Amino acid sequence: MAIEVQIPTILRTYTDGEKTVGAEGATLSDLLADLDVKYPGLRDRVVDDAGLRRFVNVYLNDEDVRFLDGLQTAVSDGDSVTILPAVAGG
Amino acid sequence: MRFPHLLASVGHTPIVGLPHLSPTPDVRLWAKLEDLNPTGSVKDRAALAMIEQAEADGILTPGATILEPTSGNTGISLAMVARQRGYHLICVMPENTSAERTQLLRMWGAEIVYSPAQGGSNEAVRVAKDMAKRHPDWVMLYQYGNAANARAHYETTGPEILADLPEITHFVAGLGTTGTLMGAGRYLREHKPDVQIIAAEPRYGELVYGLRNLDEGFVPELYDPSVLTSRYSVGPHDALMRTRQLLHEEGIFAGISTGAILHAALGLADRAAGSGDSADICFIVCDGGWKYLSTGAYEGTLEEAAGAISGQLWA
């Protein structure tokens, strides 16, 4: 069983328009590496040399991974990962 | 309680217990009723503080025009204050907001410039910044980066909560401008270092995230993640379910963003109950449900309601 990753509209050019894709790995970092094999270029839109890009939020089962272990956050089968651009409110 | 005028009555809101939603006698949920502010939302605190600070700084002078990007609630609060202080207000608001927000803004005398639905509030910020460049005489208070926004909560919301609920273990609020969490969160942490500060962020429909590129993403200048313990994204289905639960089980008629906050609060409550800890979890009721009646949030099945608000900025 793979981990389900929700792809935001803006990055679906990399996934042939797929909204949800499966990926494997023990950590978020592994997961993104696996995604990049299947969808080359996707990883670079989410992370840069410093880690997660400033205007990208990644949630593991609805919790912001920046408050978990960031890219080293452990993931396991059945988890859901959501990638979203940062938006304003108010 | 008696006040010399309406603006003096902003804040001082009650905290009420939620006996039916609290999971055990040792894990208690508390709602701070910000819907009891003059315009019915927590934003009255920030709006009043930002205008008073701008007046004190001499930036805002009699008859001035205020410009503000807003998804609606801050605009409504600013309109209420501006009306009494004699300022003209122009709000840049995404077109995918509830009809009531437009009605209330106009009622208090504000002018509205709509920004495209696609991109949500990010787009409103962009449009307002462009307008500000062309009208240097207008005053943009800019809630996302205005220190008076967070300070209002540091000086009022935070102290009120600590005074009424000194046993607080968790504080949960919505994340929009981040003002409530930054201000009240800092105050609470300074006085209770072990308190957990939790953000609940609305997860909208795809339209709202329809940016042209990721660089158009937006993080408010006020945001300091070190204030937070954790941050949750809550989708419309969970937010609506909790909004209705709050109404049915505790009689509190709140807006949809409050449902999102309650969802995060209940998750923390369950975790505390499961590990046998005691907890006093205080969350913010941002506004009442009145402004969302036309969205269909309170009618039909949850699926129907979630469908009805899917393209809307519901928080």
Which member of A10, A57, A67 has the closest CB to residue B228? A67
| Claim to verify: residue B22 and residue B165 sit in the same structural domain | yes
Dihedral angle, C-alpha B70, B76, B81, B86, nearest 10 °: 80
The verdict on residue B114 lying in a domain is yes
Q: Global pTM?
A: 0.96
| Claim to verify: residue B19 and residue B163 sit in the same structural domain | yes
Beta-carbon separation of A66 and B175 below 8 A: no
**Mean pLDDT, to the nearest integer, of A72-86?**
96
Beta bridge partner(s), residue B69:
B92
> Exposure pattern of B57-96 as b/e (b: 16+ CB <10 Å)?
eeebeeebbbbbbbbbbbbbbbbbbbeebebebbbbbbeb
Which member of A62, A84, A89 has the closest CB to residue B315? A89
Which member of B199, B201, B213 has the closest CB to residue A10? B213
Q: Candidates 3.10.20.30, 3.40.50.1820, 3.40.50.150, 3.40.1400.10; correct CATH number of A3-85?
A: 3.10.20.30
Span B274-298, pLDDT tens digits = 999 999 999 999 999 999 999 999 9
Determine the Cα–Cα distance for residues B243 and B253; give it in Å rounded to an integer: 8
Span B200-228, pLDDT tens digits = 999 998 888 877 778 788 999 999 999 99
| Claim to verify: residue B22 and residue B56 sit in the same structural domain | no
The verdict on residue B151 lying in a domain is no
The verdict on residue B312 lying in a domain is no
Mean pLDDT for chain B overall: 96
Instruction: Choose the catalytic residue: B22, B43, B121, B291.
Output: B43
For residue B28, give the nearest of B282, B311, B305 by alpha carbon. B282
Q: Which residues does chain B have within 8 Å of residue A61's beta carbon, measured at their own beta carbons?
A: none
Q: Is A9 on the interface with B (CB under 8 A)?
A: yes
| Claim to verify: residue B178 and residue B286 sit in the same structural domain | yes
The verdict on residue B78 lying in a domain is yes
Which residues form the domain of B242?
6-36+157-305
| Claim to verify: residue B112 and residue B203 sit in the same structural domain | no
The verdict on residue B311 lying in a domain is no
The verdict on residue B71 lying in a domain is yes
Is B291 one of the annotated active-site residues of the chain? no
**Mean pLDDT, to the nearest integer, of B136-149?**
98
- The domain tally of chain B equals 2
The verdict on residue B269 lying in a domain is yes
Q: Is A57 on the interface with B (CB under 8 A)?
A: yes
Residues 6+ apart with CB under 8 A from B272: B27, B169, B278, B279, B281
Q: What is the CATH number of the domain that holds B119?
A: 3.40.50.1100
Beta-carbon separation of B122 and A63 below 8 A: no
- Could you state, in order of their start, the residue ranges of all structural domains in chain A? 3-85
ipTM of the complex: 0.95
| Claim to verify: residue B26 and residue B88 sit in the same structural domain | no
| Claim to verify: residue B31 and residue B51 sit in the same structural domain | no
